[in-house]
Structure 1
């Protein structure tokens, strides 16, 4: 590659200007390489920022050309949200594909490349990184350090560089930026649009939950939604016994992440929140329905190191009672949710007990 770049760009007497584009900078650029002294412009730089996609004005012009100006807000929801420097940018491939598809929105970008590097990094992701990535899926923003000079070998040796990679790869947008003393950028980032939320769910979240069979995830979600307590407990028990190491099951945080991951796949029907305030305390997991006709779901978790079966059942009942005592359903009632399924789930090692009740104001 060095000889190619050197012969094609640096030593090519027939070339007056060369342009390279990608998501990672050229590695080991120095006076000893075959290609050096490059001028780098990243997603955080101002220069040329408006040329790496469509601007809002250009998208309106395209929409007007196709007689679809009334679809502009839909295009924004699916394909807007990127910021290069100070420029608001739309993904050009997705916008073009949208009009080619008779203005039917789809996550077109998903099929245009491979995310094997992300998968490699996530196999080494610790609990903190996993939790941060889940927060992004729930529509929250996180504060991160961004190194725009990150190169591939550094990504594999430092899993925390996943944020820098996700930013330059188009999975994140920058909301606010500050220049840090270390030379890196301190950025508040979030998911840019609905398209990326779908891609993120399929390409990233499923890699985080790689040890959970997809069929099991769907069955557990169905049992939650239909209040099939017996099946829900059996599925959770089987999952713990077949897919989880005994060394993982230490403390409530592990179980919290596990159940949150199982619920996160329901984000097409629910806004999913973790450790939020409602009533007189903080619930563990809340599934707020996007449509009022769907039931809300509250899940309170407890964990014990060495609880017997009878003790574990009592612990599940304690978790369930806490939902009522602390009035965790207050927020849902304020939002007009008429039916709430409440679950208390207790874990001890690879054992689980589930208790539940429900609340409904719909007497029709």
Structure 2
């Protein structure tokens, strides 16, 4: 059996294969509520054979949304809406996780296809933003520097969202500490110029991330995994590098993180040499230093390429983003390309191809 289609177990959660759907914002919610778009988007990938389906960045508080159209998980109505989607994915035999997020200074922005860019004015449905410091992301409004009380409240907001995620039936939660959003802002010296206990040295800048992971782990069942997405480099000379982030990942493992979802960039505009698998070496380095399982993401498009990433020990799973948008059935195609037969056992076994699609099986 190819490694790509071997199951992996995190804590006591078996995941049927190592082809996972990366979190991708759909900018299609109203008042934080997931809807039929999210059901079809996530459900189609479960039908398509992805072993773990991750939601988009889902805000833990209203002001934590990247855009007014982002999903949330801060109230009962949202929790119930997510449960409907979770149940459908489970019926297809896949696992599902929610990415818990707070956008910080990158919140309240227009969605990508809007004719205007930047921060949404309050009069148009936006809100004032906050961050570790009053330094804005280029092109956005300046955030208010968070008070010590506001900072101290962040871990509990993430923990409360995790408890709601459990109520909705999610199999795992992912703490979003990447792509220039709030927790990454605290980590990076490019966004954090605080002089209190949450700023200054690398250890102090990492404190909020560590407190948040600890709080989420305490709120989450011991038998289910907690994932953390980290940007392994800021791609800028004065920003975070992969060894800095690998050291953080090592400490997060001691606090209960079970897998690091390794991405890069986002805290400030940077010139990035993009190519197939360009972030994979960063995933490998985080894996080597932390000893934790990792997932790799970033222009992974071909089955043989994905298989090789696992064979060479660079990652334990691959996350597909844009490729999954182009082809929601990528895992079925990959199995056919690799001449891998996917079992047609009942979906409650946690593995298997949908019987309606069994004719797509390699024979």
* Bigger RCO of structures 1 and 2 (CA < 8 A, at least 6 apart): 2
Would you tell me which structure has more helix in proportion to its own residues? 1
Note whether the superposition's TM-score is higher than 0.5: no
Q: Which has the larger radius of gyration?
A: 1
TM-score (norm 1): 0.25
TM-score (norm 2): 0.25
